[in-house]
Amino acid sequence: MFFLGIDIGSSATKLVVIDENRNMIGRSVIQLGTGTSGVENAVSNLYASHDFHPEDIMGSVVTGYGRKQFGSADTEISEISCHAKGVSFLTPSIRTIIDIGGQDTKVIRIDGKGKIQDFTMNDKCAAGTGRFISVMSKVLDIDIADMGSIDKEATEIISISNTCAVFAESEVISKLSSGCSIPNIVAGIHQSVARRVAGLAYRNGIEPDLALTGGVAQNTGMVRALEQELNARLIIPCDPQLTGALGAALYALENY
């Protein structure tokens, strides 16, 4: 018996399949979000690369920004609940989850059983989200997956003073033309996002242990910058982009 969790985010579609013993036996990540062919691609990728079939799935839950548009799952559950479920299953000691996605950033506090205490969300502006990093990486012509390794080469942090992504884009171009090194600018971009995220986290209140999830948690430069701003250690789950889909799959099993 298998259970499917589907997380349709604004930037990426994530699928996780677990068995009845809660082992993750299948996964698929497509860097296309809601309103695109992301879901179809992720589903066909899942069945093509694993040894199970649609008829083996006994239950499914959909979550994420695009969940209301997806009619083929048994149930839909909010992202906040699914992230809390997935993270507390992987690391029960976590009390604060910071999820940096492509469009919004969420800070969620949970108790020892994974129950939500409170949460805060930044969803109105690209500053402090993965979108800010994506826009800047395009200006610098750097693959998003290389931002972390380039950050490691920085010798100083060139602060970006504009928080608005549109103004910050011009600022980055002007720093480039005045001869600042790309790694130092990249470190400044990560610092800018980290400051916004830390502000949100402090407003909500943080309690250790802290986890960082979402696609942006794969960026080691962002982890460095956020640990610096929070003056705290962050625990990164082994598949940080998949925790919402994992939580959805766990709910599908429980519902069954």
Ligand X SMILES: Nc1ncnc2c1ncn2[C@@H]1O[C@H](COP(=O)(O)OP(=O)(O)OP(=O)(O)O)[C@@H](O)[C@H]1O
**Binding stretches for ligand X (CB under 6 A):** 9-12, 33, 64-65, 101-104, 130, 134, 144-145, 214-216, 218-219, 241
Burial 123-134 (b: 16+ CB within 10 A, else e): eeebbbbbbbbb
Least CB distance from residue 12 to ligand X, whole Å?
3
Both ends of the chain: CA-CA distance in Å? 10
Least CB distance from residue 108 to Mg ion, whole Å?
12
Contact positions with Mg ion (CB under 5 A) in 99-128: 101
Look up residue 203 and give its two tokens: 């407003």
Please tell me whether residue 33 binds Mg ion under the rule CB under 5 A. no
Least CB distance from residue 42 to ligand X, whole Å?
11
Nearest 10 degrees: Cα torsion 170, 175, 176, 180: -160
Half-sphere exposure of 85 (CA within 13 A, CB side): 22
Please tell me whether residue 9 binds Mg ion under the rule CB under 5 A. yes
Residue 3 interacts with, from ligand X, Mg ion, none (CB under 5-8 Å by kind): none
Tell me which stretch binds Mg ion (CB under 5 A): 9-17, 22-30, 152-160, 182-190: 9-17
Other beta carbons less than 10 A from residue 135's beta carbon: 16
Least CB distance from residue 99 to Mg ion, whole Å?
6
Maximum separation of any 2 CA atoms in the chain, in Å: 60
Least CB distance from residue 134 to ligand X, whole Å?
4
Alpha-carbon distance of 177 to 146, in angstroms, equals 22
Alpha carbon 214 to its chain's center: 1
Residue 60 interacts with, from ligand X, Mg ion, none (CB under 5-8 Å by kind): none
Residue 144 interacts with, from ligand X, Mg ion, none (CB under 5-8 Å by kind): ligand X
- Binding residues for Mg ion, rule: CB under 5 A, are 9, 101
